[in-house]
């Protein structure tokens, strides 16, 4: 698995998303078909999993060997919970900043979510979703990129793809931050289990808070009503407060990350992220201009190390276009 195959997988994910939206739209218009929230979530995860697993199968890769489900210490699990908790103010801050420009995507579907029994949604959003997304984006995608380029480039690209996968600007904003955070956690532990635990804990507490807020409001509008009465001034005031909290908690989270790495004897892996900023395979210029064979090798070397390819660019353009249209079309039709 390398970057070229990863980019093709991501393009397939985007195209499958488009196909699913088209089919559902046609069924809704012609047959008044409405897809409930549970099968919708399952379909969304299938759109991610199927192309990724198929790509691994075609490449004849060992899936478990590729993604790295290695053991971690029990003490590290508790540290990961602390790390996740300390990372939440930063993601909340980014979420609030994005709400200055776009609607909160999670709040928009909260009404449908709350109609489903709590345990079902806890499993789908808090367990199944995080596991499948980590398997794909921190497992297949990130490890595939690492084989081609530097760890830092692989981190950024895998986080970008994870953000675009959500197909809306609100979730994409904080998903990019989460993508960077969890991939550093993977490097700190050497195991995909660490990012799975982070993601499950992060999503599960979101589900719990959603149901608790609904119970506390006694069904009187809940999150959707709360967002409607939220003014820009109130949001800016909240952002200013969360900015201070996020700065302090993120600094503490960085300390916990180092603590986790020391416990797993992975300090050097964290340091290597910032040291290894050059291409893995050094490309040197030929000593003589007439050494055509050497020049060809250099060109081939550069081509093999290219992480951004045409399929990736096409996928990014399609995803951004879809996300933009979701904002523009309702305003034009209003």
Name the stretches of the chain with pLDDT < 70: 218-222, 225-226, 276-305, 334
What does 130-144 look like in DSSP terms, one character per residue? HHHHHIIIIIIIHHH
Answer whether 205's CB lies under 8 Å from 217's CB: no
What is the rounded distance in angstroms from the CA atom of residue 286 to the CA atom of residue 66? 35
Q: Say if pTM beats, i.e. exceeds, 0.85.
A: yes
What is the rounded distance in angstroms from the CA atom of residue 38 to the CA atom of residue 226? 24
- Spell out the domain ranges in the chain: 3-333
Counting runs of H as helices and runs of E as strands, what totals does the chain give? 17, 0
In this prediction, residue 230 carries a pLDDT of 77
Q: What is the 3-state secondary structure (H, E, C) of 86-108?
A: HHHHHHHHHHHHHCCCCCCHHHH
Element (H, E) at 163: helix 151-165
In this prediction, residue 273 carries a pLDDT of 83
Handedness of CA 270, 2, 201, 214 (dihedral sign): positive
In this prediction, residue 277 carries a pLDDT of 59
In this prediction, residue 232 carries a pLDDT of 85
3-state class (DSSP) for residue 269: helix
In this prediction, residue 276 carries a pLDDT of 65
In this prediction, residue 284 carries a pLDDT of 43
In this prediction, residue 94 carries a pLDDT of 96
CA angle 57, 44, 223 (to 5 degrees): 150
What is the rounded distance in angstroms from the CA atom of residue 41 to the CA atom of residue 120? 11
Answer whether 224's CB lies under 8 Å from 107's CB: yes
In this prediction, residue 32 carries a pLDDT of 80
Burial group, residue 332, by CB count within 10 angstroms (0-12, 13-18, 19+): exposed
Answer whether 138's CB lies under 8 Å from 183's CB: yes
């Amino acid at each position: 698995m390398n970057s070229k195959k990863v980019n093709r997988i991501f393009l397939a994910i985007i195209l499958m998303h488009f196909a699913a939206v088209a089919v559902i739209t046609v069924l809704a218009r012609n047959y008044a078909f409405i897809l409930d929230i549970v099968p919708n979530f399952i379909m969304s995860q299938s759109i991610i999993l199927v192309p990724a697993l198929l790509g691994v199968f075609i490449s004849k890769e060992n899936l478990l060997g590729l993604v790295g489900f290695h053991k971690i210490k029990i003490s590290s699990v508790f540290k990961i919970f602390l790390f996740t908790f300390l990372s939440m103010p930063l993601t909340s801050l980014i979420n609030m900043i994005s709400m200055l420009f776009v609607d909160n995507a999670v709040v928009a579907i909260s009404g449908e979510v709350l109609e489903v029994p709590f345990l079902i949604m806890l499993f789908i959003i808090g367990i199944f979703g995080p596991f499948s997304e980590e398997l794909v984006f921190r497992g297949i995608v990130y490890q595939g990129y690492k084989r081609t380029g530097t760890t830092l480039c692989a981190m950024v690209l895998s986080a970008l793809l994870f953000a675009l996968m959500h197909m809306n600007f609100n979730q994409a904003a904080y998903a990019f931050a989460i993508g960077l955070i969890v991939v550093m956690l993977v490097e700190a532990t050497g195991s995909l289990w660490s990012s799975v635990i982070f993601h499950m804990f992060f999503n599960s507490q979101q589900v719990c808070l959603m149901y608790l807020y609904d119970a506390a409001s006694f069904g009187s509008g809940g999150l959707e009503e709360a967002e409607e009465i939220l003014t820009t001034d109130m949001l800016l005031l909240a952002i200013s407060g969360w900015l201070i909290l996020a700065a302090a908690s993120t600094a503490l989270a960085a300390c916990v990350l180092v603590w986790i790495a020391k416990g797993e004897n992975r300090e050097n892996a964290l340091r290597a992220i910032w040291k290894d900023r050059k291409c893995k395979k050094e490309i040197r210029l030929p000593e003589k201009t007439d050494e055509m064979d050497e020049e060809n090798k250099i060109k081939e070397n550069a081509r093999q190390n290219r992480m951004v390819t045409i399929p990736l660019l096409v996928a990014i353009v399609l995803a951004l276009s879809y996300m933009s249209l979701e904002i523009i079309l309702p305003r034009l039709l209003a």
